[in-house]
């Protein structure tokens, strides 16, 4: 059975075609710069990679290009071989506490939540509508980043703002990267020999960063909030900040709220502190060359991540494992070191030989560490495909 996992952005379309239930990736790829004459289409299959630059005016053309590409490269014979489609959706609000089959009602509901994720939900809906046109009789599911965090209790997800804001506008913490946190925590539980009442903290560290406390497979708290801006400093996001800063800069520089939020989302974090880049590899290189601000950018992030780990250790009343995942979490031994250096009081220790082994997966804690430290590559597409497969 073949299932395709889709992640539609405002100008991009990522995909993976998987054979289920074997969870084998048959093909993957990306359509980028949709809406331009020099858009790109890349497809990977059987160890090969094919890329082209062409005019892709809209998502409809991108979807056709993707499906035609699968046939052209003889990955499938016809689109009838695709028996399910899973769409990643960033924001499900309180409307969706599980994945939902796509129809006019659910698509409209997803679109209605766009104010909570304006950069994402509108783009997801465009992708959904185009796939529904081409594959109208195929099961299609929306799989939400926020669903995994619906198990949080009120004290964890409510802000101490006027309660009416929550009642009227849904102002609360929703959390994100839920599909990743779920996948990684499930893998961590396996590594703990399926321990009951497991206590795990997952650190999803990429260009976006979120930390989640997970008890017995359920999210009890997470760092991202109403939007992905809350939490720790990221590639271009500030993470937590005193809101009064906005008033100060608005007054001194005459910037609008929209401009300020754009700066907090796109010009802060690694990029803002270092002044160099949002890419951790560039930051690490500059830090090694003696650039103080690059080093500071890494230290700021590591300290804040450790703050969350300490807080969640208390929430969980102990800790079995910390799991690092996503681009930086999986690949940067230096970032893992910076974080764990703050955790001496919890007796968390790394085996430096294992930590610095390229491509390491599994436990990298030293034998005398009180907490296991896992490196687990995330696989959101597999989680999406599993969800679709379970409905077929």
Domains of the chain: 2-144 (3.30.420.40), 194-375 (3.30.420.40)
Cα–Cα distance measured from residue 145 to residue 228, given in angstroms and rounded to the nearest whole number: 11
The token pair that represents 152 in the structure block? 């949080």
- Which DSSP string corresponds to 124-155? HHHHHHHHHHHSTTSEEEEEESSGGGGG--HH
pLDDT band of residue 307 (cuts 50, 70, 90) is very high
Instruction: State the pLDDT at residue 103.
Output: 94
| pLDDT, tens digit (0-9, with 9 covering 90-100), for 153-206 | 999 999 999 999 999 999 999 999 999 999 999 999 999 999 999 999 999 999
Residues annotated as catalytic are: 145
**190 in Cβ contact with 225 (< 8 Å):** no
Instruction: State the pLDDT at residue 141.
Output: 96
Instruction: State the pLDDT at residue 114.
Output: 84
Tell me the chain's radius of gyration from C-alpha atoms: 21
Predicted TM-score (pTM) of the model is 0.92
Question: How far from 353 is each of 357, 366, 379, CA to CA, in Å?
Answer: 6, 10, 26
Spatial CA neighbour of 378 closest among 224, 181, 191: 181
Torsion (CA) 289, 294, 296, 302 in degrees, nearest 10:
-100
Query: What is the phi-psi region of residue 317: left when phi exceeds 0, alpha when psi lies from -120 to 50, beta otherwise?
Result: left
pLDDT band of residue 372 (cuts 50, 70, 90) is very high
Q: Computed from CA positions of residues 274, 116, 329, 200, in that sequence, does the dihedral angle turn out positive or negative?
A: positive
Which residue bears the tokens 């185009």?
A: 130
Cα–Cα distance measured from residue 369 to residue 155, given in angstroms and rounded to the nearest whole number: 31
How are beta strands 24-32 and 36-45 bridged, if at all? antiparallel
- Which DSSP string corresponds to 299-359? HHHHHHHHHHHHHHHHHHTS-SEEEEEHHHHHH-HHHHHHHHGGGGGGT--B-HHHHTSTT
Residues 6 or more apart whose CB falls under 8 angstroms from that of 138 comprise: 82, 83, 84, 85
For all residues of the chain together, what is the average pLDDT?
A: 94
**29 in Cβ contact with 41 (< 8 Å):** yes
| pLDDT, tens digit (0-9, with 9 covering 90-100), for 274-293 | 999 999 999 999 999 999 99
| pLDDT, tens digit (0-9, with 9 covering 90-100), for 48-71 | 899 989 899 888 889 889 999 999
Instruction: State the pLDDT at residue 277.
Output: 93
Query: What is the phi-psi region of residue 64: left when phi exceeds 0, alpha when psi lies from -120 to 50, beta otherwise?
Result: alpha
Spatial CA neighbour of 69 closest among 88, 51, 87: 51
pLDDT band of residue 37 (cuts 50, 70, 90) is confident
Cα–Cα distance measured from residue 325 to residue 231, given in angstroms and rounded to the nearest whole number: 17
Using the CB atoms, write b or e for 207-222: b if 16+ within 10 Å.
Answer: bbbbbbbbbebebbbb
Spatial CA neighbour of 24 closest among 47, 43, 8, 3: 3
| pLDDT, tens digit (0-9, with 9 covering 90-100), for 108-135 | 999 998 888 777 888 888 889 989 999 9
The token pair that represents 158 in the structure block? 């409510």
**pLDDT reading at 32 higher than 90:** no
Helix (H) or strand (E) holding 293: helix 292-316
| pLDDT, tens digit (0-9, with 9 covering 90-100), for 250-260 | 999 999 999 99
φ and ψ of 155, to 5 deg: -65, -20
| pLDDT, tens digit (0-9, with 9 covering 90-100), for 221-239 | 999 999 889 999 999 999 9
Spatial CA neighbour of 29 closest among 58, 61, 63: 63
Instruction: State the pLDDT at residue 5.
Output: 96
| pLDDT, tens digit (0-9, with 9 covering 90-100), for 310-361 | 999 999 999 999 999 999 999 999 999 999 999 999 999 999 999 999 999 9
Instruction: State the pLDDT at residue 127.
Output: 87
Determine what percent of the chain is predicted with pLDDT higher than 90. 83
Q: Which long-range contacts (CB under 8 A, 24 or more apart) does 341-344 make?
A: 341/302, 342/302, 342/303, 342/306, 342/309, 342/310, 343/306, 343/309, 343/310, 343/371
Spatial CA neighbour of 82 closest among 45, 116, 131, 46: 131
Instruction: State the pLDDT at residue 341.
Output: 97
φ and ψ of 386, to 5 deg: -60, -40
Instruction: State the pLDDT at residue 12.
Output: 82
Instruction: State the pLDDT at residue 71.
Output: 94
Cα–Cα distance measured from residue 268 to residue 285, given in angstroms and rounded to the nearest whole number: 19
């Amino acid at each position: 059975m073949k299932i395709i996992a889709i992640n539609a952005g405002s100008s991009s379309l990522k995909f993976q075609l998987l054979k289920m239930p074997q969870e084998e990736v048959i093909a993957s790829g990306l359509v980028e710069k949709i809406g331009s004459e020099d858009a790109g289409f890349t497809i990977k299959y059987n160890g090969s990679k094919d890329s082209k630059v062409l005019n892709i005016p809209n998502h409809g053309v991108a979807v056709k290009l993707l499906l035609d590409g699968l046939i052209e490269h003889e990955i499938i014979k016809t689109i009838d071989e695709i028996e399910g489609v899973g769409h990643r959706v960033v924001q499900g609000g309180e409307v969706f506490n599980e994945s939902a089959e796509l129809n006019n009602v659910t698509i409209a509901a997803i679109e209605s939540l766009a104010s909570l994720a304006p950069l994402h939900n509108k783009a997801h809906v465009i992708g959904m509508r185009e796939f529904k046109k081409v594959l109208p009789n195929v099961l299609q599911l929306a799989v939400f980043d926020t669903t995994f965090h619906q198990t949080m209790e009120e004290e964890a997800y409510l802000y101490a703002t006027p309660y009416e804001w929550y009642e009227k506008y849904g102002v609360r913490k929703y959390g994100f990267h839920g599909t990743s946190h779920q996948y990684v925590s499930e893998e961590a539980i396996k590594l703990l020999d399926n321990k009951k009442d497991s206590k795990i903290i997952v650190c999803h560290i990429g260009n976006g960063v979120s930390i989640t406390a997970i008890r017995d497979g359920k999210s009890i708290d997470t760092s991202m909030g109403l939007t992905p801006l809350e939490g720790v400093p990221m590639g271009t996001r500030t993470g937590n900040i005193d809101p009064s800063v906005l008033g100060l800069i608005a007054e001194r520089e005459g910037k609008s709220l929209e401009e300020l939020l754009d700066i907090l989302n796109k010009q802060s974090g690694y990029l803002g502190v270092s002044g160099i880049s949002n890419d951790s590899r560039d930051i690490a290189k500059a830090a090694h060359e003696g650039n103080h601000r690059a080093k500071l950018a890494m230290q700021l992030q590591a300290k804040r991540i450790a703050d969350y780990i300490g807080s969640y250790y208390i929430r969980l009343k102990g800790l079995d494992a910390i799991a690092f995942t996503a681009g930086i979490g999986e690949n940067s031994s230096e970032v893992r070191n910076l974080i764990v250096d703050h955790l001496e009081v919890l007796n968390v220790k790394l085996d430096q030989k294992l930590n610095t082994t390229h491509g390491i997966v599994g436990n990298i804690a030293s034998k005398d560490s009180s907490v296991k430290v896992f490196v687990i590559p995330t696989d959101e597409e597999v989680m999406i495909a599993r969800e679709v497969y379970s409905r077929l």
